[in-house]
Structure 1
Amino acid sequence: MATTSCTVYIGSFVHCRSVTELEIENDGAIGVDKSGVIRFVLRGAGGNAENIKKTLEFKEAFEHGHVEFVIVKKGGWFFPGFIDTHIHASQYPNTGLFGKTTLLDWLNTYTFPLESSFSDLDKARKIYSRAVARTLAHGTTTASYYTTFHVPATNLLADICLAKGQRAFVGRVCMDQLSPEYYRDESIEIGTENSRKCIDYVRSIDPAGEIVQPIITPRFAPSCSKGCLAALGKLQKETDAYCQTHISENKPEIELVQQLFPESGSYANVYEEAGLLNEKMILAHAVHLTPMEKELIVRRKAKVSHCPASNTALTSGCCPVRDLIERGIDVGLGTDVSGGFSPSILEMVRQTVWVSRHLAMTDGDQAKLTHEEALYLATRGGAKVVGMQDKVGGFEVGKHFDAQMIWLGDAEDIEGCDEFAAREGPVDIFGWENEEDRIAKWVYNGDDRNTLAVWVKGRLVHRRKEYDC
């Protein structure tokens, strides 16, 4: 019996051609080989398997072996997988819990007590498994995860991501000050060595880094001494690993950094002096950067993760994303669970638009972002932030097939109103909408019920029960 050597995904597909432009192909096909790499993209391909088969007779890559066909449901489309550039997997149980707190109070009230409990591996397994499954259900094919300071629990998350097939950067949290005595590294040497152990472990289970990669994770400057940051900067140079941290999230935090590092001159310069500000650094939030800090980040080619829901929930401020992009800074989106209230990057697309409009009320219309631009940040922008722009973010030959199948329902079924709404999700389609209308309705009204299936490198990693791919 012939084995499947490739899969052809037939139907409409949508992706960001540029920051401002979506490509919408209503009659296409994407051929993916057994390693999950896109081998061809056909436009105007005839819309059915028989026509595709005739076309494929001339495709050398598909002359041998069995070809499987996956056809998108009527009214649906394939869209690139979302990339969450900043999420705390260990905080997932606290999603939506922020009360009336601001950042520093929130850490002590909600975050540190939960994270410190991850010495219990059964608890960690339950939380991490649910977090990965939930983000996959929302179409997140790549995530940059914070964990806790525990080595076994951090390694466990890497195991879970590899088993479930979600691309992930997994980082042990480093901190030697400010956090409670019960939840901090015993010393700079022990913290650095524990981080090295996690890096070595992640690379041992996925040597090529195709699915999981390690990421060095100083929590943020206030929780790390100057010596700690310098040691992590040295570790990054030795291991060539990615790094992630927070910067300029809110004003009291910035004032605290100035008190703790008075000789550094700025928050960004704290990381610069430690050797951490480089093209492999992901800076979360970046709400209140000074012009000089922005210039420094541009020179060092560091990246920014915009976390709009969290910035609003914790009253941190409105990040001027348009300004960052125009300066040449690569920007992606982050849910920042649990500072953010949702594990959905689609929700962050909405929130990105809303935050930009709130900013426009004081700074002028130039601050506004469109939903097309926000979708770019969620896909190609995020891919640049995590250094995967050559692999994921769009549907081009040579890229990996990281994708989600989106379906909004069928207008013909609208007569069964109550049953339809319960079954098909939150987006109402009436039949007269054009393609741009349907995408806009998905962006502003959709949720995980509209994500029927998710693939990472051609592997089916999530499927809604009611749909058989």
Structure 2
Amino acid sequence: MPQKTVYFGRFISTPQPNELLIRTGAALVNRKDGRGTIEKMDWTVGSPQDAVHKYGIDTPVVTAKDNGFFFPGFIGECFHSYWDLRNRKSLTLWTRKMANGCLQTDTHIHASQYPNVGIFGKSTLLDWLTTYTFPLESSLGNPKSPMYRNATEPPDPLARAKTVYNRVISRTLANGTTTASYYATIHLDATNLLADIAFARGQRAYIGRVCMDRPETCPEYYRDESTEQTIAHTKASIEHCRSLDVSGELLAPIITPRFAPSCLPETLSQLGALAKAEDLRVQTHISENLSEISLVKQLFPDQTTYTDVYDHHELLTPRTILAHAVHLSQDEMRLIKQRKTKISHCPASNSALGSGFCPVRVMLDEGLEVGLGTDVSGGYSTSILDAVRNACMVSRHVGYVNGGDSRYNLGVAEGLWLATVGGAKVVGMQGRLGGFEEGMLWDVQEIVLDEVDPNGERGETEVDIFGWETWEDRVEKWVWNGDDRNVRRVWVGGRLVHERQ
């Protein structure tokens, strides 16, 4: 792979929530340090030959077609767990023409739940969670998982985990997700395997071993034995991630209490202390479901709110990602802002599981930093582009229930901003990801749009371009109709990590 590469074409980004910036030029990307950073951007370049001439080097040029654009990669995250104390049942919520695009981040995704994507049936949330989620997650590390009850041969949980994790990383990369904040399972070996696979595949990833050890809220076949075991296995997972990437820039650990009710109070306190001592990221869930909030009040009577529980245990930090946050009070939002904690909005999951409509506009007005998550498998898709359109649709529902007030509406540019710049802020990579500025990492996706055939033949994707659309129109058509077929290539840190055949 050459040390330097020039990318020429149209660049589209969302540096501000209401700004869709469309420019043509060239980027010189330097992989000398292994990071793949933008060494120079030149908006006066008019052709690939002009780019080489202006940069004064003999280097490969990746060129977008006339209908193409580069757009930052997506950044994302996902999963939940609840418990019915009365029934003692677990409630685990959770163009033929080429175009080049930017980084996407999934700020909340459960890698271990990927096989259950789209499995809802007619079950209630409780039935769905207890029937599918905990058994599936446990099967990636426990040979005595309920998933193996009828097995005719001795189970191999790690072989299953390898299949699942390879597939989910392939799928997220194919959807343009360059950065993902992953929940694994409670199993150390399987969590380390997820880290191995993500690092080898080149996806920027934060890997979290799930912490859950409270006997009254976690099934016997799927929980840590004690606070001591939780902390020991968490530390071992952290060290494994660091052994793979000492810089922590491509792969890093993230402390992951599933959610407050799944952990003993002492466990939450020790996880908070560990995060503080090691300056680590934290990810968990908050205020996703009204029953969950009631449960938190029962289990933590000395704290006034769900947010206060995390704050009390020193888990509300500038490096913490709180998923969902559907039912926060204004006081809670203000405390989250004060602590500089981040929010992962998971609109598809919130709708699919009937959790409610998250008022993102209110959060943004309060000054909270918000990104997007797929929350697989509470969410039905690994696509952050799908999360963008769901965020837009849910915002309209929020407006409807507030008297039809359109101020709550999110536009396409805002949705894309949440998926890129917003996501970068949520995972602590602001200024490094999400745009096309010198010094930023080259985490980029290349998109494919279809030009309409004069004879009316069906195109390869659902994004039909007739030729008279403005570029703003084309981006909107991509957001509302696009999918993984539109993603031709993906780079992370200048390394090609996905190419559609």
The alignment's TM-score, normalised by the length of structure 2, stands at: 0.88
The number of equivalent residue pairs is 449
Counterparts of 1:403 and 1:5, CA distance in 2: 17
Q: Report the counterpart of residue 437 of structure 2 in structure 1.
A: 396
Counterparts of 2:276 and 2:127, CA distance in 1: 34
Pick the aligned partner of 2:283 from 241, 244, 258: 244
- Map residues 6-405 of structure 1 onto 2, 5 A cutoff: 6-25=4-23, 27-34=24-31, 35=34, 36-46=36-46, 48-57=47-56, 62=57, 66-82=58-74, 83-101=105-123, 103-119=125-141, 120-177=157-214, 178-363=217-402, 364-405=405-446
Does the aligned pair in 2 maintain the 1:98–1:110 contact within 8 Å?
no
Q: Which amino acid aligns with 1:122?
A: A
Does the aligned pair in 2 maintain the 1:104–1:253 contact within 8 Å?
no
Counterparts of 1:86 and 1:98, CA distance in 2: 20
Pick the aligned partner of 2:479 from 428, 437, 443: 443
Counterparts of 1:106 and 1:276, CA distance in 2: 29
Q: Report the counterpart of residue 154 of structure 2 in structure 1.
A: none
Q: Which amino acid aligns with 1:439?
A: V
Does the aligned pair in 2 maintain the 1:75–1:409 contact within 8 Å?
no
Q: CA deviation at 1:238?
A: 2.2
Q: Which has the higher contact order (CA 8 A, sep 6+)?
A: 2
- Map residues 400-415 of structure 1 onto 2, 5 A cutoff: 400-411=441-452, 413-415=453-455
Q: CA deviation at 1:102?
A: 5.0
Counterparts of 2:72 and 2:12, CA distance in 1: 8
Q: Over residues 332-352 of structure 1, what are the superposed CA-to-partner deviations in whole Å (9 max), with x where a residue is unaligned?
A: 000000000000000000000
Q: Mind listing any 5+ residue stretches in structure 2 that lack a counterpart?
A: 75-104, 142-156
Does the aligned pair in 1 maintain the 2:433–2:441 contact within 8 Å?
yes
Q: Which amino acid aligns with 1:12?
A: R
Counterparts of 1:103 and 1:361, CA distance in 2: 25
Q: Over residues 33-67 of structure 1, what are the superposed CA-to-partner deviations in whole Å (9 max), with x where a residue is unaligned?
A: 12411011111411x2211122112xxxx4xxx41
State percent identity of aligned pairs: 55
Q: Report the counterpart of residue 81 of structure 2 in structure 1.
A: none
Counterparts of 2:51 and 2:238, CA distance in 1: 45
Q: Report the counterpart of residue 95 of structure 2 in structure 1.
A: none
Q: Secondary structure at the match of 2:242?
A: helix
Q: Which amino acid aligns with 1:37?
A: T
Does the aligned pair in 2 maintain the 1:102–1:316 contact within 8 Å?
no
Counterparts of 2:454 and 2:384, CA distance in 1: 28
The alignment's TM-score, normalised by the length of structure 1, stands at: 0.94
Q: Secondary structure at the match of 1:209?
A: coil
Q: CA deviation at 1:365?
A: 1.4
Does the aligned pair in 2 maintain the 1:102–1:315 contact within 8 Å?
no
Q: Secondary structure at the match of 2:398?
A: helix
Q: Secondary structure at the match of 1:401?
A: coil
Does the aligned pair in 2 maintain the 1:98–1:339 contact within 8 Å?
no
Counterparts of 1:15 and 1:210, CA distance in 2: 22
Q: Over residues 201-253 of structure 1, what are the superposed CA-to-partner deviations in whole Å (9 max), with x where a residue is unaligned?
A: 10011000121100000001111121111111111122211000000001011
Q: Secondary structure at the match of 1:279?
A: coil
Counterparts of 1:463 and 1:336, CA distance in 2: 25
Q: Over residues 419-461 of structure 1, what are the superposed CA-to-partner deviations in whole Å (9 max), with x where a residue is unaligned?
A: xx2xx21111111111011000000001111111100000000
Does the aligned pair in 1 maintain the 2:15–2:421 contact within 8 Å?
no
Does the aligned pair in 1 maintain the 2:5–2:30 contact within 8 Å?
yes
Q: CA deviation at 1:103?
A: 4.6
Q: 1:102 to 1:192 in 2, by over 3 A?
A: farther
Does the aligned pair in 2 maintain the 1:77–1:407 contact within 8 Å?
no
Q: CA deviation at 1:416?
A: 5.5
Q: Report the counterpart of residue 78 of structure 2 in structure 1.
A: none
Does the aligned pair in 2 maintain the 1:103–1:250 contact within 8 Å?
no
Q: Which amino acid aligns with 1:87?
A: I
Counterparts of 1:5 and 1:167, CA distance in 2: 20
Counterparts of 2:265 and 2:38, CA distance in 1: 45
Q: Report the counterpart of residue 150 of structure 2 in structure 1.
A: none
Q: Please state which structure has a larger fraction of its residues in helix.
A: 1
Q: Secondary structure at the match of 1:79?
A: strand
Q: CA deviation at 1:171?
A: 0.2
